[in-house]
Amino acid sequence: MKVVIVGGVAGGATAAARIRRLDEQAQIVVFERSGYVSYANCGLPYYVGGVITDPAELTLQTPESFYTRFRVVMKVHHEVTAIHPDTKTVSVRNLETGETFEESYDKLILSPGAKPAQPRIPGVGIDKVFTLRTVEDTFRIKEYINAHHPRSAVLAGGGFIGLELAENLRELGMEVTIVQRPKQLMNPLDADMAAFLHNEVRKHGVRLSLGHTVEGFAKRDDGVDILLKGETPLHADLVVLAIGVTPDTALAKEAGLELGIKDSIVVNERMETSVPDIYAAGDAVQVRHYVTGEKALISLAGPANKQGRIIADNICGGDSRYPGSQGSSVIKVFDLTAAVTGINETNAVKAGLDVDTVILSPMSHAGYYPGGRLMTMKVVFEKGTGRLLGAQIVGYEGVDKRIDVLATALHAGLKADQLRELDLAYAPPYSSAKDPVNIAGFMIDNILRGVLKQWHLEEADGLPRDGSVTLLDTRTAEEYEEGHIDGFRNIPVDELRERLSEIERGKRVYVICQSGLRSYIASRILEGNGYEAYNFSGGFRFYDAVTHDRCLIESASACGMDRV
């Protein structure tokens, strides 16, 4: 059996190694148009910033090491230019010599990945405007920085690459601005959770220009003008386009393979394309979203590696199937860690789901053990059924651990309230006896049972201030004086039972505290005394962070808070 693989990075390299482990006799040839195989895309920004100093560390394997261990022929600087399903051959060009030739196959695997989105706007091709996707891209940026010592950079795009590159360029001492059309960084997060990232990057000197459209680039004063729609141009010494990627599927399209959203390759659960004996994996393929069941494009290394392994199993006589992608990911943003799994609230609503959320601010480990720090968790679930839909966490240590627990629960089909039942490891340096994931489960269980009623940030401005409802802040007097929402009166939770006569009966009571715990206790006190109480999801800490961020983005003067 002869297997030809187009693309030698995540999906292609994984498939090649797995086929060899399953079939010692198979002939395996990989064509990779760049000069590198099996390299770590996610490590590229850290080489630019000098965190990774040895370029050899970016490549997990070389063509030579791959052949030595697996007897796989890795042909770099070779571009497949056409696929001929009728003759089961591909046309190949040697990019070093210009030679062209035909290569036959019994099975063909397409793992071409994705390419940086290149908007059709003026100035994209000028020499100070870069993209970052391959090792060669990384070297070009690094060489430019070493040769010209730029003092400023504009990053068009605030996703994974944009944020990681912003951090690394700041570490090199550059002034950095991120500009993009959405009014938030990291679209996998809801806008309220992204507020914590915005605060972190601003704290480290990164300027944010959110909600602005880049219309082009122009050389000026040995730098680049970044032309914005309806705004004054920005100016920088270099620009990096990081506005996302698109499936690199021209080959598949020309060969007549069925294509899906954004011209991605349509595959079934076995990763088979519409043409017999042709498989596809990685960023170029359309997948099923594990939570919604909808068609999706999810460009992450984990799914690409799994898909490559599944293809290898099936080529070698097995029957492996890909269940779909749930988009689990994590990113370091200066001192913060942000992580997601499943779908966020925004996309759940767009999908037509009837959803609710819980927002909590637990410590990374036991509060009495030194060094614990707050994280912010948002768990999305379906009303009525309690189906777990997704989660987002922003914090410091312990974020990756909790998102992986939640990702596992989501994959296993646990209901959101079943998170309370998980038997998770505890020792004071690592967690609390009630882990943050358990606490989220307790909260959701209370909501589903009717023990807890919530109100959310989006309702804050619309709450009546005419006395028809009671607005109650249960923090200490000192906390209240430092900042509170307009119209909320202060009765500390520990004084509430003695001061119930101050709260008029027959009116709904909307309660808030710093994190949501004291206001929950206050809600139970009120409910136990005949009131109808609603607890604010997230607490004043969450409200303050999100509304302050929105004011900065919108340049609004009124933030809806009193401050000393």
Give the residue numbers annotated as catalytic, written as ranges.
42
Burial of 465 (0-12, 13-18, 19+ CB in 10 A): exposed
Residue pair 30/131 in contact (Cβ under 8 Å)? The answer is: no
- 178: which strand partners? 155, 208
| 46, containing H or E segment | helix 44-48
* 434-443 as b/e: b if 16+ CB within 10 A: ebbbbbbbbb
Helix, strand, coil abundance in the chain, percent, nearest 5: 35, 30, 40
Which residues lie closer than 8 Å to 19 by C-beta, 6 or more apart? 3, 26, 28, 312, 315, 316
| Token representation of residue 219 | 């050389």
Residue pair 265/286 in contact (Cβ under 8 Å)? The answer is: yes
Query: How are strands ordered across the β-sheet holding 329-333?
Result: 329-333, 336-342, 388-395, 376-382, 355-360
Number of C-beta neighbours around residue 6 at 10 A: 28
Q: What is the DSSP letter of 43?
A: G
Residue 384: CA atoms inside 13 Å, Cβ hemisphere, count?
A: 3
Which residues lie closer than 8 Å to 229 by C-beta, 6 or more apart? 212, 213, 214, 215
Matching residue, tokens 């099975």: 107
Which residues lie closer than 8 Å to 245 by C-beta, 6 or more apart? 114, 115, 116, 117, 133, 283, 299
Matching residue, tokens 């060489």: 143
SS3 117: coil
